[in-house]
Structure 1
Amino acid sequence: MEETYKFSVIIHKEGKWYVSWCPELDVASQGETVEEAIENLKEAVELYLEDEDVQIPAGGSILTTTIEVSHAKTSRPVST
C-alpha cells in the first residue's frame, strides 16, 4: 500500500540557483526556478524513501519564520 507524506521545504537562492531543502530528512536539491527546485526536491525525496532502512520522522511539521536584527556592521541588506 502506498502512503503519502508531508514534509517541509525551505528554499533560498544561491547565485542563479534556488536551493530546496527538506529539513526532516536532510535532503536537498536545486533548480533554476523555485518550481524546478521543488520538483527536483520531490524526486530526491522519493529516491531517498526507496531505501529500505530509511527512518521516516513521526508527524508534526517544522515551523519557520523570519526575524529582523539590527547590527552596526551590516553594510548592505541580505538579498532575497
Structure 2
Amino acid sequence: MRKLEQIAVSTADRERLERLVRDRNTPQKVVWRARIVLLASDGSTAEAIAAVAGKSLLTVRRWRRRYVAKGVDGLLKD
C-alpha cells in the first residue's frame, strides 16, 4: 500500500477546522471529518487516523481527498 502524503493545511484553515471541532452546534459528521484532516496535517498515518476516528481507511482517504480538492467547504457537504 502506498504511503499517503501529509496534507498541507493553512493557518486560516486550521483555525476554522479547530473551531468546527470545538463548536457544540457542529454536526458530528463534520467534526470527525475535520479531525481526520487535522490528524492528517499533523502527519498521522491513515491507519492511525482510522483508529482514532473510528472510521474505515476508505472513509479517511475519501475525506482527505475531498479536503485537498475543495478545502474546508468540501467537508461541510455530503
Normalising by structure 2, what TM-score?
0.26
| Higher Rg of the two aligned structures | 1
Structure richer in helix, relative to its length: 2
More relative contact order, 1 or 2 (CA 8 Å, 6+ apart): 2
Structure richer in strand, relative to its length: 1
Normalising by structure 1, what TM-score?
0.26
